[in-house]
Chains A and B, each alone.
Chain A
């Protein structure tokens, strides 16, 4: 029963992140939109690395490609790349403070946005690297909420 509840929490968190990502935003605020889906993936990889690892990040990346209508494989690449860092550090990250984890999230999201822009520039799309830190700042600011929620789940289901 407990495991059923645990999987429901994981699915609910992913659907919520997807819905938040899809809420229409004006062009002015779009660069400031946190990367909810990547945050939740990074969160599960940090707190439950034994259950949710690289394969999970790749699967959610594929889902993101289909939902965001981006070239198939782009988000698989990004999510695997970004998910691999907390996965490798997962044994230690759990003992860090929430501020340290927020800093890591900020760096990861900056890197992810930079990579995404670079990939789009390879396809010939005009890119603006000036917007890269904006989403990372907002993502790092809302991370403590996600961190707190996932830490609670982790303590219950470790």
Chain B
């Protein structure tokens, strides 16, 4: 009994040392990146299998839905499409006007973005790591740093690309930050993830900053990674904590970070990476 415990303790201590060694190397170097990439590539079938139950659920949901409900949904979507097309015409007019004004000012040409529809094929099971896998990769022209969005707003950016799939880091991951500006007054800040799918925080805003609850935030385009003007979120609450130099500003992401299944990959006109699939 005691022999077993002492040898077990010895083994545990050895494995602890190995584990801490690996964590230290992982924190300070990129030595494991090739192993992690290889693992990402190899486990794709497991993610594909794990996605079968939700797909079956969706399929069963559609099959069991009453025809009249589908007809109503169809009608609603047609009406929505009509409204959006009307708004798009107005946007086109504004974009053209904006372009004319920029040309008058000798400013750079207005950037126009292209998009590619993609589907989520896997989600990180860890509540602390906000990443997801999508079904587009190198063959579709996807590249590291490319922004992704859903129908409501920005979701995050691509961090690894493989032949047929990619991995994206979501805006709510605690290692992610995005330059934003307040739509109302153009004030700039940085929105950081908090490991909570429904919350981000604005950093380094002084107590005198002109910011209010409900303010809409859009990407500012600073840093060149995210194109400007895409919705990021809205200010949920503002707190002044005594003894702290800066405000604590909580932001609710505009995108449905943990629910969206179909996403859009944004190709800005600067990318020069468009191919036949890009719409």
Contact = CB atoms under 8 A, between A and B. Distances in A.
Interface stretch (B9-17, B204-212, B232-240): B9-17
Interface residues of B, number: 50
B125 to A, nearest CB: 5
Interface string A92-128: 0000000000000000000000001000100111111
B54 interface: yes
Interface stretch (A4-12, A64-72, A143-151): A64-72
A23 B43 contact: no
A72 B125 contact: no
B36 A67 contact: no
A68 B124 contact: yes
B277 interface: no
B194 A126 contact: yes
A54 B19 CA distance: 13
A84 B19 contact: no
B160 to A, nearest CB: 9
Contacts of A125: 128, 174, 195
Interface string B113-132: 00000001011111111010
Nearest to A80: B15
Interface in B1-53: 1, 4-5, 8, 11-12, 15-16, 18-23, 25-27, 32, 35-36, 39-40, 43, 46-47, 49-51, 53
A64 to B, nearest CB: 9
A71 B33 CA distance: 11
Q: Could you say which of A18, A33, A73, A126 has the most chain B C-beta atoms within 10 Å of its C-beta?
A: A73
Nearest to B10: A54
Contacts of B146: none
A116 B129 CA distance: 12
B50 A24 contact: yes
A67 B16 contact: no
Contacts of B19: 58, 61, 73-74, 76-77, 80
A76 B198 contact: no
Nearest to B22: A73
Contacts of A131: 127
B196 interface: yes
A39 to B, nearest CB: 14
Interface string A42-81: 0000000000011100100100001111111110110011
A80 B12 contact: yes
10 contacts: A24-B50, A24-B54, A33-B125, A53-B8, A54-B15, A69-B124, A71-B27, A77-B23, A80-B12, A88-B5
Given A30-B125, A68-B129, 17 more contacts: A20-B50, A21-B125, A27-B197, A27-B198, A27-B258, A31-B127, A58-B15, A69-B124, A69-B131, A71-B23, A72-B26, A72-B36, A73-B18, A73-B19, A74-B19, A76-B22, A80-B12
